[in-house]
Amino acid sequence: MNVNVEPSGGSLTDLAYLLLRDRLVMLEIKPGEPINEDRLRTEFSVGRTPIREALKRLEQERLVVAYPRRGTFATDVNISDLSHISEVRRTLEPLAASAAAERATAEDRAALTELRSKLDTTAPSGDNTELLRADVGVHRAIYRCVHNPFLEDTLVSYDNLATRIWCVFLPRLSGMAGHVDEHVPLLTAIIEGDAKKAGELAAQHVIGFERAIRALI
């Protein structure tokens, strides 16, 4: 199961970008690990150009770093970045949730209703990795409802960085199911068009993430 929940289709570069991004975000490619372009070309069934274009995008998003004559590597996860990332997310996540509540189309609300139903009726697996993937999927769905591609890209980028920090602590985290369950009232607020409540719940969610990580540092 991949983190990305974008529709299928698009260019080969988009495909390579999404597949590689998901591996980096979930630390399936470990921090500091070299990126093997030849292996990725074979696994993704794409040429050299899509891989290199995807890597350029991922470097801008701080997920990979390229060194002359050395190659490209997955970036390290620095816990010291938590406060900076959280500062941005405490501003943008409530903004996005409020905007989604106001701007979501009928089709958007139907999709969120279906997503809420899945969260509400599926018993927690106890698998923190799968729970984290579900968490990321909800965030992506909300961001799309903002209908602002610039804000969406920024939100996704910072959520990716936050998720990488989650992954470092995932084996030690407890209460992950409860963290994901927080999305049910948030989705309800967006579906019902309650912008104020949606913003408040999103803010609480981000603050809860930071507290949970800091408790383990």
The CATH T-level fold of domain 12-74 is Arc Repressor Mutant, subunit A (1.10.10)
pTM to 2 decimals?
0.86
Task: State how far the Cα of 138 lies from the Cα of 168, in Å rounded to an integer.
Answer: 20
Report the interhelical angle of 128-144 vs 183-191 (nearest 10°): 20
Task: State how far the Cα of 136 lies from the Cα of 210, in Å rounded to an integer.
Answer: 16
pLDDT band at residue 132, thresholds of 50, 70 and 90?
Answer: confident
pLDDT band at residue 1, thresholds of 50, 70 and 90?
Answer: very low
Q: Structurally, what CATH architecture does the domain formed by 79-214 represent?
A: Up-down Bundle (1.20)
Encode pLDDT of 8-60 as tens digits: 446 999 999 999 999 999 999 999 999 999 999 999 999 999 999 999 999 99
Task: State how far the Cα of 196 lies from the Cα of 136, in Å rounded to an integer.
Answer: 22
Percent of the chain with pLDDT over 70: 91
Provide the pairing of β-strand 64-67 with 71-74: antiparallel
* Residue extent(s) of CATH 1.20.120.530 domains in the chain: 79-214
Predicted pLDDT at 39: 93
Say yes or no to pLDDT of 177 above 80.
Answer: no
| Cα–Cα nearest to 92, from 4, 5, 172, 205 | 205
* Residue extent(s) of CATH 1.10.10.10 domains in the chain: 12-74
